[in-house]
A and B are shown apart, each in its own frame.
Chain A
C-alpha cells in the first residue's frame, strides 16, 4: 500500500512540477507539457510490446500458461498506451503543425503498429481453446515484434519528418532540455513504468483467478 501511495504522489508531483516549476520551451509554448505524457506513453508502448514478445518466446519454450497470461496482458496494455501516445501526439500536432493528422512518417508508422497489434488482439479473441490460442498468438507476437524496431526507430529516420528528434540532446548541445524539464520528464518516465507493471500484475492476477474459478466450476459440474 505504501508503494502504491508513493507512486500516486510521485506522478502527481511530476505533473505539478511539469506545470508549475519547469519552464516552457520557447518554440513550443504551452504544448511543451504534452511531452510529459506523450513520450512516457510511447516508451511504455515499446516496453509492453517487448515484454509481450519476451513472454511469447518463453511460452513457446516452456508451454506454461503463465507466460501466455503475461504476453496477452502486456500486448493489451501496449495497444492502450499506443493509442494514448497517438492521441496526445495528435493534440500536439494540432498545436504545432495546425492539423491533428498529417500522415507524417511517425504518425503513419504508429498507425501501422496499431493495426498489427489490433490484429493480434483480434486473433486471440477469434481462437477457441486455450492451448491453441496461446501457441498461435505467441508465434504471431514474435513475428509482429520484428516490425516494432523497424517502424519506431528505422522508418522515421529514413524519411524527412517534422517530428522532433527522439534522442535527448545532452546539456550544451543544440536543443538541450532545461534541467527542470528533464527532471520532470524523467520522473514521469519512471512513474509510467511503475504504473505499467502495477496494471500488468493486476491484469495477470485477474486472468489467473478467472481461469481457476472456471476450472473449479467445471470440476464441480
Chain B
C-alpha cells in the first residue's frame, strides 16, 4: 500500500522509484481494520446472545 513519490531532482533527495506511504491510505487502512474488527466482534456477540437465548 502506498503511492509513488513525486519525481525529484538529484539534489532534492528522494531517488526515483522509492515508494512512500501515503497518509490518506494509512487512514483508510486503519478505518477498514477498525470496521473489520468491530464487525467480527458484533458477529461473535450475536452468536453468544443466540446461545444464551437457546439455553
Contacts and interface: CB of A to CB of B under 8 A. Distances in A.
Contacts of B24: 19, 30, 33
Contact of B46 (A8, A11, A15, A202): A202
B42 A15 contact: no
A12 B52 CA distance: 30
B19 interface: no
Nearest to A11: B35
Size band of the interface chain A makes with B:
10 to 19
Interface in B4-55: 23-25, 27-28, 31-32, 35-36, 39, 42-43, 45-46, 49, 52-53
Contacts of B32: 12, 15-16
B51 to A, nearest CB: 10
Given A8-B36, A213-B52, 14 more contacts: A4-B46, A7-B39, A12-B32, A12-B35, A16-B32, A19-B27, A19-B28, A30-B23, A199-B42, A202-B42, A202-B45, A202-B46, A205-B49, A206-B52
23 contacts: A8-B36, A11-B35, A12-B32, A12-B36, A15-B28, A15-B31, A15-B35, A16-B28, A16-B32, A19-B25, A19-B27, A19-B28, A30-B24, A198-B42, A199-B42, A202-B42, A202-B49, A206-B45, A206-B49, A206-B52, A209-B49, A209-B52, A213-B52
